Amino acid sequence: MVDSPLRADAERLLVHELLRTWRELNRTHFDDTLRPPVLAMVDTRATLGRWVPDGRILEISRPLVLEHPWGSVVEVLKHEMAHQYVFEVLKVAEGPAHGPVFQRVCGRLAIDGRARGLPDATPAEDDRIVRRIKRLLALAESDNEHEAQAAASAAQRLMLKYNIELLASGPRGYAFRQIGSAKARTPAHEKQVAGILAAHFFVEAVWVPAFDVRTSTRGWVLELCGTAENLEIATYVHGFLLETADRLWARHRREHKTGNKDRRRYLLGVMMGFEDKLEKNTKQAVQEEGLVWVGDRGLDKFVKQRHPHLVTTHGSPIAMDGALASGRAAGREIVLHKPIKGDRGNRGNLLK
């Protein structure tokens, strides 16, 4: 048995949220063809989830819910709903649980069909390119501004060239990764970072619903989709930019003896300035080497499969003020530094 730290009322809210998520996935992924099952949280680490035809029970591991991000819980729920779909809609009751029919359903909906492990981004297959780019980013720590800028520009061009060549070589494999913490309201500078990653780092960025189990509150979290190599680099850049922006704001505040009221505007300005710099580097790559990125239809298809009813929104014009201008100027001076290694966490147990 697993002792649950949740109060009875919090657990009821959690089950209600699971059912709400089930209904939304039934609408977006399964065309409302499924009938609501009996949702049950079970005290086991032996499985992450399980579809039990007898009794029409969809089980979710309580340790999974308590110890892993909500995005992982949603992916396990999708996996078990695919089992439910195969059994109740397609009427395939015999054969291996993770057999060809199940795999076809998962492939069509970009659901992880593996029987083992948490659904997540797979390790980079071409670790050489990741290492080369990280070495260039490490060189960007040089105290010489010109050397640092040259190293950062070289890393960006290497990514561009690599992705152009890889796209021309044939079909690519895609994965996803959810990064950062869920927030009820996402600050504008974090939205700007998501846009930077999508525009310049060969991933797609989607804000997806999330649920904080500890506080029983809903919010949004950033999901990146792309190849494993690009996800690795984009995840690093995401953390680096947020950390650097906070450091620049602290320095700006000390130097100008200002309060905290302009913090959000300054941070947004930092991200806008960094994007200005990336745009300049991209134009140089086009002019000097003829490197032009035309997009990745395979990635577009993968994102559409994962998010069939995705809605794209565009921001409103932003008025320039002192804090925003100062942040933008600081952002134009940012140079990517080498990644800080972190623990990716447990890969999970079994899916049934």
Residue 42's pLDDT band (boundaries 50, 70, 90)?
very high
Give me the pLDDT at residue 176, please: 92
Asked if pLDDT for residue 290 goes beyond 50, the answer is: yes
Closest CA to 105 of 17, 21, 31: 31
Q: Which of the two residues, 233 and 18, has the higher pLDDT score? A: 18
Asked if pLDDT for residue 45 goes beyond 50, the answer is: yes
Query: Please, what is the average pLDDT of the chain?
Result: 81
Q: Which of the two residues, 65 and 215, has the higher pLDDT score? A: 65
What is the distance between the alpha carbons of residues 269 and 265, in angstroms, rounded to a whole number?
6
Asked if pLDDT for residue 29 goes beyond 70, the answer is: yes
Q: In which residue ranges of the chain is CATH 3.30.2010.10 found?
A: 8-109
Give me the pLDDT at residue 92, please: 92
Asked if pLDDT for residue 4 goes beyond 60, the answer is: no
Q: Which of the two residues, 260 and 83, has the higher pLDDT score? A: 83
Give me the pLDDT at residue 131, please: 79
Closest CA to 278 of 117, 157, 189, 120: 157
Task: Tell me if the domain spanning 8-109 has CATH number 3.30.2010.10.
Answer: yes
- For the segment 173-188, what is each residue's pLDDT rounded down to a tens digit? 899 999 988 888 899 9
Residue 318's pLDDT band (boundaries 50, 70, 90)?
very low
- For the segment 95-142, what is each residue's pLDDT rounded down to a tens digit? 788 999 999 999 999 998 887 767 655 555 667 777 787 777 666 655
Asked if pLDDT for residue 147 goes beyond 80, the answer is: no
The pTM for the full model equals 0.79
**What is the arithmetic mean of pLDDT over 145-153?**
64
Residue 5's pLDDT band (boundaries 50, 70, 90)?
low
What is the distance between the alpha carbons of residues 307 and 174, in angstroms, rounded to a whole number?
14
Answer for the pair 206, 303: CB distance below 8 angstroms, yes or no: yes
Q: Of the ranges 13-17, 26-30, 130-134, 293-297, which is most confident? A: 26-30
| Residue whose token pair is 């940012």 | 334
Give me the pLDDT at residue 132, please: 81
Asked if pLDDT for residue 346 goes beyond 90, the answer is: no
Residue 312's pLDDT band (boundaries 50, 70, 90)?
low
Report the percentage of the chain scoring pLDDT > 90.
36
Give me the pLDDT at residue 311, please: 66
Give me the pLDDT at residue 61, please: 95
Q: Which of the two residues, 277 and 105, has the higher pLDDT score? A: 105
Asked if pLDDT for residue 54 goes beyond 80, the answer is: yes
